[in-house]
Amino acid sequence: MRKVLLCTAIAVAGILIAASAWPALQVDADFDSGSIGTYSIDEANSTISLTLRTETLVNTGDTYTYWTHFRVTGALGRTVTFRITNAELVTFLKTTAHEAQMVYSCDGENWSRLTDHSYSGGVYTFTQTFPCDEPRIATFFPYPYARLAQLLDRVAMGPGAQRTTLGASELGRNIDLLTITGTAVPPADKKVIYMVGRQHAAETAGSHMIEGLIDFLLSDDVDACGLRGYYVWHIVPMLNPDGVFLGNTRATSESRDPNRDWHDANTESAGTNLARAQANAVKAATGIDWFLDWHSQIDDGRWHNFIYAPPGNTIFPHISARTDFDSQNTSGTSCTASSCSSRGYATLRLGVPMITVEPSPHLVSWTVETLRQQGVRFAFALNDYFGLYRGAVLPALAPQLGRTDCAGNCEGDTDGDGDVDGTDIAALIQNIVQAGCAPPRGPAKESGKN
């Protein structure tokens, strides 16, 4: 009898040890692009209740609540439930008809969706068992300030890239310009593309697309060489680095929406001032053939990718053909001293055609890699529109060689004489060589749409 009791006591003690073996849960967001509102930890029930920060923009009066990015410590092997208690302020969390899913990561690089979630009575609840001790949780794949610094350090070493620091943000962070182009084609024969990104701090999808675009343009792919050769790519990848670092949803460090401060008379946002001045300098020096602004619509109730584009444009069919952006909004824009976006400024002050890219992070098919690839596809769509670099069709030409039934409709019939023959190939090779690039050898590769 005594022996049995002893065994029971040991077993109970074992259970107690196991139950208390969990290290205490801790939460923090004190890092680059981190953000959390108030929170409390119910250790006994492995539950963390939290709010998302709400920010009010001083120049528009608008309020936004949706960005969060925080770290949980003590989570290894533990099933933790999270309760966002101000989810009634967050459209994508409370709209249960759509599969809005936040993300988590064990290493800050590879992200998974939080699929076990529900919404009820203003509370968004999600539960996850973590395979690591310090997972990070975020609204969407983060893109911190430090990641851009790593990208610029990486690519500025390569040929064809020039990094220029335009100036400093309100808090002293660099606002950089990356110019990518080749040297073989005379400047007068090039088209000039001007891009800005990350005006809005939490719109990270745009940053991943820009990163993919930059990495591709500076790669040794023959098409990248061709796109460098015939175009000048001026890219301001992060106009609002302070807001990004501070984990803001939209604002600068001064609580301003930098994408309403583009009018010349408005000098309140440092990043906007620098990008606007640079755009004017480029316009005066070489002209700008297309302006492109990368955003991401997160919480305005739209669940699809779209672009803002000029009314009556002919670029949209190329974008739709190349990318997963099959919807355009061609509504007009305005630019007044009290409110002027880059779209209003480029269109009405610079007189330059422009698109604003608005991926929806709620499409669960997105990964960091698919976002990066979409950025590349926008470069091809712009080239399809301008048509300067024609070598991209060369790999697809081989199966068509010998055709005589084109009547001007075959992609490989570059001289439009109805057939695909050596003359067409010679013209494409000449186009590639003129860009200072070596024509590809070996099997064809696909560069079409997903």
Q: Which residues bind Zn ion (CB under 5 A)?
A: 200, 203, 295
CB of 174 to Zn ion, least distance (A): 21
At its nearest, how many Å lie between Zn ion and the CB of residue 93? Answer: 19
- Residue number of the CB closest to Zn ion reads 295
Specify the residue, 53 or 250, whose C-beta has the smaller distance to Zn ion: 250
- Residues 46 and 385: their CA atoms lie apart, in Å, by 55
Q: Measured from the CB atom, is 53 or 295 closer to Zn ion? A: 295
Residues with Cβ within 8 Å of residue 3, at least 6 apart in sequence = none
How buried is residue 18: exposed, middle or buried, by Cβ count under 10 Å (0-12/13-18/19+)?
Answer: exposed
Cβ proximity to Zn ion: between 229 and 258 the closer is: 258
Contact 130, 77 (CB under 8 A): yes
Q: Compute the distance between CA of residue 361 and CA of residue 297 in angstroms, rounded to an integer.
A: 7
Rg (CA), the chain: 26
The least CB distance from residue 357 to Zn ion, in Å, is: 10
Q: Which tokens is 325 given?
A: 């952006």
CB of 435 to Zn ion, least distance (A): 34
Closest to Zn ion by CB, 117 or 208? 208
User: In whole angstroms, how close is the CB of 202 to Zn ion at the nearest point?
Assistant: 9
CB nearer to Zn ion: pick between 200 and 260: 200
Q: d(Cα 47, Cα 79) in Å, to the nearest integer?
A: 9
Say how far apart CA 281 and CA 234 lie, in whole Å.
12
Instruction: Write down the least CB distance from residue 257 to Zn ion, Å.
Output: 9
Tokens of 48: 């963390």
CA distance 323 to 370: 11
CB nearer to Zn ion: give 303 or 386.
Answer: 303
> What is the DSSP-derived secondary structure letter of residue 338?
T
Q: Which is nearer to Zn ion, 203 or 424 (CB)?
A: 203
Report which of 338, 337, 335 is spatially closest to residue 352, judged by C-alpha positions.
335
* Structure tokens given for 134: 């310090």
The runs of H, that is alpha helices, within 300-436 are 316-322, 342-344, 368-386, 422-434
Name the minimum Å distance from CB 338 to Zn ion: 18
Whichever of 62 and 189 has its CB closer to Zn ion, that residue is 62
Please give the Cα distance from 448 to 323 (Å, whole number): 9
Query: Minimum distance between the CB of residue 200 and Zn ion, rounded to whole angstroms?
Result: 4
Please give the structure tokens belonging to residue 289.
């053939």
**Cβ distance to Zn ion smaller for residue 182 or 361:** 361
Distance (Å, whole) CA 257 – CA 247: 14
Residue 283 or 295: which CB sits closer to Zn ion?
295
CB of 260 to Zn ion, least distance (A): 11
Q: How far is the CB of 60 from Zn ion (least distance, A)?
A: 12
The upper half-sphere exposure of residue 448, i.e. CA atoms within 13 Å in the direction of its Cβ, equals 9
What does the DSSP 8-state code read for residue 438? P
How far is it, in rounded angstroms, from Cα 115 to Cα 99? 9
Residues in the chain: 450
Query: Least distance to Zn ion from the beta carbon of 133, Å?
Result: 35
Query: Shortest distance, CB of residue 106 to Zn ion, whole angstroms?
Result: 29
Give the residue with the Cβ less far from Zn ion, 200 or 377.
200
Residue 306 near residue 356, CB atoms below 8 Å: no
What HEC string does 363-388 produce?
Answer: CCCCCHHHHHHHHHHHHHHHHHHHCC
For residues 83 and 276, which CB has a smaller minimum distance to Zn ion in the complex?
A: 276
CB-based contact 163:237 (threshold 8 Å) = no
Assign residue 442 a region: left if phi > 0, alpha if psi is -120 to 50, beta otherwise? left
